[in-house]
Amino acid sequence: MKTDDVLTQMPHNPAHVVPGELQEIRPESPREHYLESILNGSGMIAIIALDTDFVVRYHNPSARKLLGYEASELDGRRLSQVSVLGLDDVERFGAMHQGLDSDGEYHYSLGYQLHGKNRQIECAISALYDHRQELHGFILNARDITRRAKQQERITRKAAEEQCLGVLLRLSLEDRDVESFLQQSLESLLQSIPWLNLLPKGAVFLGESHRQQKTLRLVASYHLTDAVTQTCERISFGWCICGRAAARKELLYIPDTDDARHDVRYPGMEPHGHYAVPILSNRDILGVLTLYLPPGHGEKEGDKTFLRRVADVLSMGISKRRAEQTLAFQAQFDDLTALPNRSQMICHIDQALVRSRRHGHVGAVLFIDLDHFKNINDSLGHTVGDEVLRQVSSRLTNTLRKEDMVARWGGDEFVVLLTESGRQPRDVARQAQLVAEKIRDALSIAFVVGGYPLNVSTSIGVALFPDNNETTTEILQQADTAMYRAKAEGRNCVRFFLPVMQMLANERLVVEQDLRWALAQGELQLHYQPQVDASGCLVGAEVLLRCPDRKGGFHRVDLCIDVAETTGLILPVGEWVFREACQKLKAWTDSGVAGGLRHLCINISPKQFLQRDFVSLIQRIIDEAEVAPGCLVLEITENILIDAKTDAVETMDALKGIGIRIAMDDFGTGYSSLAYLTRLPLDILKIDRSFVTGISLDERNAAVVEALMAMARQLRLQVIAEGVENDDDLGFLILKGCEYFQGFYFSPPRPTSEFNAYLEQRSL
């Protein structure tokens, strides 16, 4: 009997069926008995026969075993009432109807739990027709595919893991920095592995030495909160799960946040576990990969095996990049001093030379050689010599500006590149001289190695560029030649390749030395130039500094002031000038010869004015000299306004609070005066001599001076005209309303003794 015939004998109307009779088919012949044996004895396939209303009419023992139902629980039930089969779901039941109508069959699979275990079954429902092609019912075949599903899951997982490792391997070979590599690897890992996607959070740490302590620094993270990234930005070995994995060099697992090894706590922390995987290279710790696990994710050897393989790939990527960094460093830097090496310096000089020619800048190269350094290596050994070279490199780096560059040329030779120092060779030569002297001063301090002080001097050669069409090689040769000239001239000195530059450098050096000598020995001098009113009566005097040389003469005033400014000597020199002027004013006042001398005008440099304690210093000197503050006028230039900006007003207000008056010197020669003039607390405006000399013959200068005086009147400022040389200039200025004058027409600057006599004569 065929299956169709068996089902044909079954009643079609469930109302006429006795449930107990549906459990088995009574055999009527050996053929039927054989068919029953096949249906009931199939241990692999569950078979359920249904009528046209999807009511269960037959089920074999395998169906009961697979679904976990007793026979009485299946008999006479509609298919939608057997919940294990999943057809109580309206959408799936509708899909089944549609499949049967269109194809005569419907296939699906689903998972369920039986006796506490997860099972997976695969089902097929087919329509049954008799020989007249009339629908007799349906038959459902079900098969347990749990083992096959698990095997497929293992295969799928293995494929996903291998694919993920392949992606990580590709990333490890790409040209990207280590932090970018680790960030991309972490994201790829968490986005591609199904069992990690349940809680896609993680981080990668790199092992570092921080303040002489082994630490882990967070370099890559994925979906971590700010609280975590801030707390775990840098952690010590042995601290929390990640630090312990690093310290032990073994993979660690914690099930949840209540684990005693989890040190991090913060408000709102979600329950989670961890895998912390050390990233090793020959037992050296490179870092740690940490992954967040959902609660209930148990520890699995398969997980740990895969994560160890991930760590191996990350280790390869980190090691590759560190090796590349080492090679790149060795190609561009000196191993001993960590300074740029010869090849890198040549490259930078090439670039600087191109920029200088294009933009009109002038640069300088300094070639530095340590004097008698061979004696240190020969007598104390190369270990001591190497330490001295390291200390030399450190001092050179700390002496230079950030935009400058120093390289170890080889042995005990170093090269310094000063780029874009100015547009005029004279200015750049001056700057190079200052830098060279700073280097000499820095290296002249004893080096302490092994508890012993060692003194090292240095010879420095300087070459400027560009000059004509020289190459980088020629520039270096010029600096080297200048250095050997310094060696030949006694060592421990600076020499320029161009004679004219050397002459200028020598001149500035002599001025600096004489300035230091004069300051230390009390040889500085003050001259005083009278200031008079329109009738020629004395009203005040300007205090002028004179720097004597050691041959009995004087250096140029402008050069002397410039050297003082650039070397920092202007601060002690300026203090001396102010103190000396106050003491002289006190002496003249006490002796009764001051007469009509109402004030002294004292020039103040921008560096003095910008000192934090400038006002308190002025107050202290005034108190010590016991002079009236109203007899002192501080002359400032427009450069102070540019340098000090808004701070200038505050300082000037503080000075005026003492009682000191303030004059704007050389007015009209700068760029910012008009912008600041209306809000500066000034008392006096001094018109520069460049506008005054020959004013009676120069209409343009006359117009400028007339406008300046008109503006001064509106601002209620006194005006002093400098550089009055003749009657015509004086007459013009008086005609335009100028009140006070200064110039050779009345008197040249006089040394103290002559000015004493001048005052005494005026006081008679």
Q: Is 249 helix (H, G, I), strand (E, B) or coil?
A: coil
Structure tokens at 705: 């001076």
CATH number of 3-144: 3.30.450.20
Give the tens place of pLDDT for each residue, 206-240: 998 877 789 999 999 999 888 888 888 998 998 88
Yes or no: say if 486 and 496 are a contact pair by the CB < 8 Å rule: no
pTM over 0.75: no
One CATH from 3.40.1390.10, 3.40.50.720, 2.40.30.10, 3.30.450.40 for 151-330:
3.30.450.40
Contact criterion met (CB below 8 Å) for 214 and 237: yes
Cα torsion for 323, 326, 238, 306, to the nearest 10°? -10
Beta bridge partners of 123: 108, 142
Residue 5 pLDDT = 39
Q: How confident is the model at residue 37 (pLDDT cuts 50, 70, 90)?
A: low
Instruction: State yes or no: cis peptide before 466, omega within 30 of 0.
Output: yes
DSSP state at residue 469: T
For residue 138, what are the contacts with CB-CB under 8 A and spacing of at least 6?
Answer: 49, 50, 51, 52, 54, 100, 125, 126, 127, 128
Whole-angstrom Cα distance, residue 142 to residue 245?
A: 49
pLDDT digits (tens, 9 = 90+) for 484-521: 888 878 889 999 997 766 677 678 889 999 999 999 99
Q: Which of 540, 611, 520, 622 is nearest to 578 (CA)?
A: 622
What are the tens digits of pLDDT across the range 591-630? 989 888 999 999 999 889 988 899 999 999 999 999 999 9
Domain with CATH 3.30.70.270 in the chain: 337-497
Fold of the CATH domain 337-497: Alpha-Beta Plaits (3.30.70)
In this model, does residue 673 exceed pLDDT 60?
no
* Model confidence pLDDT, tens digit, residues 171-215: 988 888 999 999 999 999 998 887 776 678 999 999 988 777 899
The rounded distance, in Å, linking the Cα atoms of 718 and 582 is 23
Under the banding of pLDDT at 50, 70 and 90, the label for residue 10 is very low
**pLDDT tens sequence across 414-466:** 999 998 778 888 889 999 999 999 999 999 999 999 888 899 999 999 999 98
The arithmetic mean of pLDDT across residues 76-102, rounded, is 85
Better pLDDT: 296 or 701: 701
* DSSP codes of every residue in 555-612: --HHHHHHHHHHHTTHHHHHHHHHHHHHHHHHHHHHHT--TT--EEEEE--HHHHT-T
- Residue 18, pLDDT above cutoff 60: no
56-59, strands of its sheet edge to edge: 56-59, 45-50, 135-144, 117-129, 105-114
Phi and psi based region of residue 490 (left: phi greater than 0; alpha: psi -120 to 50; beta: remaining): left
Q: Which residues contact 594 (CB under 8 A, 6 or more apart)?
A: 585, 588, 759, 763
More confident: 465 or 764: 465
Query: What one-letter code names the amino acid at 3?
Result: T
Residue 22's pLDDT is 36
For the chain, give every residue range classified as CATH 3.30.450.20: 3-144
User: Three-class SS string for 157-209?
Assistant: HHHHHHHHHHHHHHHHHCCCCHHHHHHHHHHHHHHHCHHHHCCCCEEEEEEEE
Residues of the chain with CATH 3.30.450.40: 151-330
